[in-house]
Amino acid sequence: MAAPLFTSPASDDARSAFAAKPRGLVDKVMTVSEAVARFVRDGDYFATGGFGANRIPTAVCHEILRQRKQHLGFSGHTATHDFQILCAGNLTGRGLTLARVDAAYVVGLEARGLSPHARRVMESGALQVAEWSNYTLALRYTAAAMGVPFVPARSLLGTDTLGNCPAKVITCPFTGEKLAAVPALYPDVAAIHVHEADRYGNCRFTGTSVADIDLARASKRVIISCERLVPHDEMRLNPHRTQIPFLCVDAVCEVPFGSYPGNMPGEYFSDEDHLKLWMEVEKDPAAFSQFLEDHIFGVRDFTEYLDLCGGLHRLQALRQRELLLHLGK
């Protein structure tokens, strides 16, 4: 039996949500805590930007755990540490943060290995899971950004993945060729971390964009965390550099080092020691529960988390390492 479709691909329904967004230049600056409280609701379908451990919205994911958001859907598109964090909400005694997952790349932290706890969560049977390739999950954002209920593709045809996802085989009305109809994905809310944003939500970032430009246009609500706020006039001086326009954005949160322990292109390297610590402590659920109490539930905000992880001294070392890599040293 094919996996269920967790969200409606109906483009007219999504357009109604988009039409309700303000079109004026509204000040959207708020704390991460305020943004999650206002825009992430129990039962929502949630998506994160970034790629692997690159430019991930760590601070927002932490706050979702701290506020005990429950029964979320999740788009696991190239999701590594962000998925690992959300799975931590599915630890015994802490409820069920994740309830359904569209999985393309999850559990693995690339060369770092598999997350023991994320693997337990995926094997527990507590989640509904649909499978996709990275490409077709990205195509779902593309369809949504275009405002159509699906896009045709050759991908998935002839693979076992097709039998484990809601995509349908269709016949091209022009050529008679067999194609996969990939349904649009309109997340209820997305979190995307960028280098710079103005207070209205215009955003720019460097490095690979992966699917984030489409994700911002596909999502009904968008929380932006940024390394730094910049004046609106500076954005207007180089409008061609704005990848995500203010029209898409609902909240802007200034969070320096907001991708930590992931990396931020041109800003700071990933903290491989801390990622290794997460992987190690997850092996023992009791130790992992205490780790979460110390590092997420027991701190007020992401700044306190950074202090626990070495503070400014550690962060400066990661920034220096990123700089040396860019210089080829």
295 within a domain of the structure (yes/no) = yes
pLDDT reported for residue 298: 95
pLDDT digits (tens, 9 = 90+) for 273-319: 999 999 999 999 999 999 999 999 999 999 999 999 999 999 999 99
According to the model, what pLDDT value does residue 22 have?
A: 87
pLDDT of residue 1: 59
Tell me how many domains the chain contains. 2
User: Residue 329's pLDDT is what?
Assistant: 66
238 & 163 share domain: no
Provide the CATH number for the domain around residue 52: 3.40.1080.10
Q: Is residue 99 part of a domain?
A: no
Same domain as 243, residue 200: yes
Query: How much is the pLDDT for 59?
Result: 98
Please indicate, yes or no, if residue 32 is contained in any of the structural domains: yes
Instruction: Return d(Cα 8, Cα 78) in angstroms, integer.
Output: 22
Same-domain status, 173 and 302 = no
The segments of the chain whose pLDDT lies below 50 read none
SS3 category, 168: strand
Please tell me the distance from the alpha carbon of residue 56 to that of residue 61, in angstroms, as a whole number.
9
Smallest CA-to-CA distance from 136 within 76, 80, 184, 182 is with 182
Domain containing 158 equals 150-183
Residues 284, 321 within the same domain: yes
Domain assignment of residue 105, yes or no: no
Strands 168-171 and 72-76, how do they pair? unpaired
Chosen domain end from 124, 158, 183: 183
Last residue of a domain, one of 123, 158, 183: 183
Residues 157 and 259 in one domain: no
Task: Please indicate, yes or no, if residue 65 is contained in any of the structural domains.
Answer: yes
In a domain, 199, yes or no: yes
